[in-house]
Amino acid sequence: PVIYVLNGPNLNLLGKRQPHIYGGKTLADVETEVRGLASELGFDIRFHQSNREYEIIDWIHEAREDGAAVVINPAAFTHTSVAILDALNAFEGPVIEIHISNVHQRESFRHHSFVSLRADGIIVGMGTDGYLLALRGAISRLNAQRS
Ligand code: DQA
């Protein structure tokens, strides 16, 4: 079984970008951790980041073909993208939304998420450890769907 871990705009700068908010680990560090846990648990990972909305949409379409689960940090697209919500609505597998920071403690424009309308679970404010929590959540949802 496959899990897509999708990352939106500016997350390529993780570790360098506002480390007081997003922590010191790079996205490559996060990818290594996610792959480590996934291989322990017997899952394959497709790990992607893009600053372009259409690429994220295309990966969600790919996940749909693969019968996968999706872990997604849509970054700023969380708050703006009906198109990503629509792509997720066309996808039948588990969706776990993750935000590194506690968006509810921040500017009010970060309090609304289009993606939350579709997410089966949401991890917020747990730092980059949130990716591992989201991965475990996606796997338990996938297992529940299969049994
Ligand atoms: C974020 C929170 C978003 O509001 C922000 O635009 C990001 C990252 C997070 O992981 O905390 O880029 O999704």
* CATH, residue 28: 3.40.50.9100
To test the pocket of ligand 1, the residue of 100, 124, 128 to mutate (highest count of ligand atoms within 8 Å of its CB) is 100
Annotation marks residue 61 as catalytic? no
83 Cα–ligand 1 center, Å: 18
Backbone dihedral region for residue 72 (phi beyond 0: left; psi -120 to 50: alpha; all else: beta)? beta
Domain of residue 58, residue span: 2-146
How many structural domains compose the chain? 1
Q: Does residue 147 have a pLDDT over 80?
A: no
- For the whole prediction, is pTM greater than 0.95? yes
- Mean pLDDT score across all residues of the chain: 97
How far the first Cα of the chain sits from its last, in Å, is 14
Catalytic entry in 20, 22, 111, 112: 22
Q: Which residues contact 23 (CB under 8 A, 6 or more apart)?
A: 14, 15, 100, 127, 128
Please name every residue paired with 72 in a beta bridge, in sequence order, or none if there are none: 6, 97
Look at the block and give the residue holding tokens 């990352």. 7
pLDDT tens readout for residues 28-57: 999 999 999 999 999 999 999 999 999 999
The pLDDT assigned to 72 comes to 99
Please tell me the residue having the least CA distance from ligand 1 atom 3. Answer: 75
**Mean pLDDT for the stretch of residues 84-108:** 98
Catalytic entry in 20, 99, 111, 112: 99
